[in-house]
Structure 1
Amino acid sequence: MWFTARFLYVFTYNMFQFCAHTWILANMTVRFLMFGRDALADTFYSIGVVMSLCQLFTVLELFHIADGIDKSWILPRLFQVVERNLLLFTIVMMEEIQSKPVVCAQFFLWNILGLLRYPQELLCVMGSPSLNMLWNRYTLYVPTYILAAVTEGVTVYQAVSHLEKAGRGRLQLPISSPNRVPILLKTYLIILAVGATVTVWQLVKERQQRLEKWNKKLKK
């Protein structure tokens, strides 16, 4: 009974993430084909709710790793979950930032990363992992993650520029002086660069371990 409930939960979670990311990517693609560059301005309004749900639910993945459901490394996942949710629910919520083309690029890359991960997770849950899917996930994931980290940095930089030009902070943060917001964001840029570098290094190590483990299974 416990095994069945656990299987249904993990299957449902990964299926939700896969379907949600597929819908978001399809929505963005169709809107761009229909409206061109005009579609970039209101990307957040068309997919923001679903994207927010996807990113908010990724907090559960930390418990998956702690419980042994997911065999991934905790540090890269922790950094991705924290920085994405922080970026999404603070900076991207600013109306002046939502219409930036970089936000559209950021969402596009986040969805590509999701579609590299969750199909493979579903196959593993069903007991039929694919070597091609495994290779795609751990090989294409690294350069895509680097591009995503760059767009996140650009988003933060544009937020800093906007706040400095406006002369006041518009983020609802628990600090006494709004003038400190740009300073906090500049500090966050440094943390993002360091964290992304460490995450990429660990992703490369994880890729090596997963592929070596698969090769050992094939030899047996």
Structure 2
Amino acid sequence: MRCSIRLVYLLIYNLLQFSGSTWIFANMTARFLFFGRGAHPDMFYSVGVVMSLCQLLSMLEFFHIADSLEKARLLPRIIQVMERNLLLFVVFVSQEEFQSNPIVCVQFYLWNIAQLLRYPHTLLCLVSSTLSANTLWAHHTFSIPVYVLSVLTEGISIWQALPYFENGMYSIQLTAPVQVFIHFPYVLMAYLPLLAAAAMVTVWLLLKERKQQLDCWNKKLKRK
């Protein structure tokens, strides 16, 4: 009974994420088909709430992996989810004027393409014990360049958002008489090399995982 409850929970979770990503992708595509270049100024208002809910919900995946509900590497998942949530809530949500920037639409597209590569594959793994070689290869191959492109646009988004934070000054009380002021654009600029380093580690782990999965599949075929 315990396993069946876990299975139902994972099916519902992945189906919700897949449905949310599909709705966002379809909504954005329809708006571009109808309004063309005029679609991006209010794109965030049309899909931002659902995107925020999906990204917040994705933090549950840390517990899925830690509790062995999902077989995946924890570190790359933490990096990917935190990268997106930091950019979404610290930059996109907090700066309303920046939400009409075209890079936000590009970022949302790449995030949802990555989700549409992940969650259908996870659903297939839950309902079927055997996957075709093409499905396995496509998931582990296409998700890597999509992730690289999404990290590149994340860096561009942060760089383009720097002028919107020029008035952002935060203070830290070190001791009673000492107060340090931090210019927030400097924090964002310091985050960029961390983003690049985390992305390189994630890509290396994803390539390693891809090799392991494909090797396991080839061994199963040889045994048959």
TM-score, normalization by structure 1:
0.93
Structure showing the higher strand proportion among its residues: 2
1:174 and 1:201 map into 2 onto residues whose CA distance is: 37
Q: Distance in 2 between matches of 1:103 and 1:178?
A: 29
CA distance in 1, matches of 2:80, 2:215: 25
C-alpha separation in 2, matches of 1:88 and 1:47: 12
Q: Structure 1 residues 174, 40: closer, same or farther in 2, change over 3 A?
A: farther
Measure the CA separation in 2 of the matches of 1:134 and 1:115.
14
User: Helix, strand or coil: the match of 1:37?
Assistant: helix
**Does structure 1 conserve the Cα–Cα contact (< 8 Å) formed by 2:171 and 2:181?**
no
Residues 1:58 and 2:61 are matched in the alignment: no
Q: CA deviation at 1:70?
A: 1.4
* Counterpart residue type for residue 212 of structure 2: Q
Q: Following the alignment from structure 1 to structure 2, what is the Cα–Cα distance between the partners of residues 160 and 134?
A: 40
TM-aligned CA deviation for residue 83 of structure 1: 1.4
Structure 1 CA distance, aligned partners of 2:125 and 2:15? 12
Q: Tell me, in whole angstroms, the C-alpha distance in 2 between the residues paired with 1:54 and 1:136.
A: 23
Aligned length: 215
Q: Distance in 1 between matches of 2:163 and 2:218?
A: 49
Structure 1 174/98 Cα, relative in aligned 2: closer, same or farther at 3 Å?
A: farther
| 1:92 to 1:8, Cα distance in 2 relative to 1, 3 A | same
- Pick from 187, 191, 196 the counterpart of residue 194 of structure 2: 191
Partner residue of 1:154?
A: 156
Q: Does the CA-based 8 Å contact 2:171-2:182 persist in structure 1?
A: no
Contact kept, 8 Å, 1:120 with 1:130, in 2: the verdict is no
Corresponding letter in the other structure for 1:198: V
Question: Does the 8 Å contact 1:120/1:129 carry over to 2?
Answer: no
Per-residue deviation, 1:179: 5.2
The ranges of structure 1 where at least 4 consecutive aligned residues each deviate by more than 3 angstroms after the TM superposition are 173-179
> Which letter maps to 1:161?
P
Identity %, equivalent residues: 53
Match of 1:115 in 2: 116
Q: CA-to-partner distance for each residue in 1:117-154, whole Å, 9 max, x for gaps? A: 11110000002433222211110111110100011001
Question: What CA distance in whole angstroms lies between the structure 2 residues aligned with 1:108 and 1:184?
Answer: 26
Q: How far 1:174 moved relative to its partner?
A: 7.4
Question: Are the aligned partners of 2:110 and 2:149 in contact in 1 as well (CA < 8 Å)?
Answer: yes
CA distance in 2, matches of 1:34, 1:178: 47
Q: Which amino acid is the alignment partner of residue 193 of structure 2?
A: I
In the other structure, the counterpart of 1:169 is 168
The Cα shift of 1:193 comes to 0.8
Aligned twin of 2:218 = 215
Secondary structure of the 2:183 match is helix
Higher radius of gyration, 1 or 2: 2
Equivalent residues in 2 for 1:1-220 (5 A)? 1-93=1-93, 94-127=95-128, 128-164=130-166, 168-169=167-168, 180-220=183-223
CA distance in 1, matches of 2:31, 2:172: 39
Q: What's the secondary structure of 1:68's corresponding residue?
A: coil
Structure 2 length normalisation: TM-score? 0.91
- Call closer, same or farther: CA 1:21–1:174 in 2, change over 3 Å: farther
Unaligned runs of 5+ in 1: none
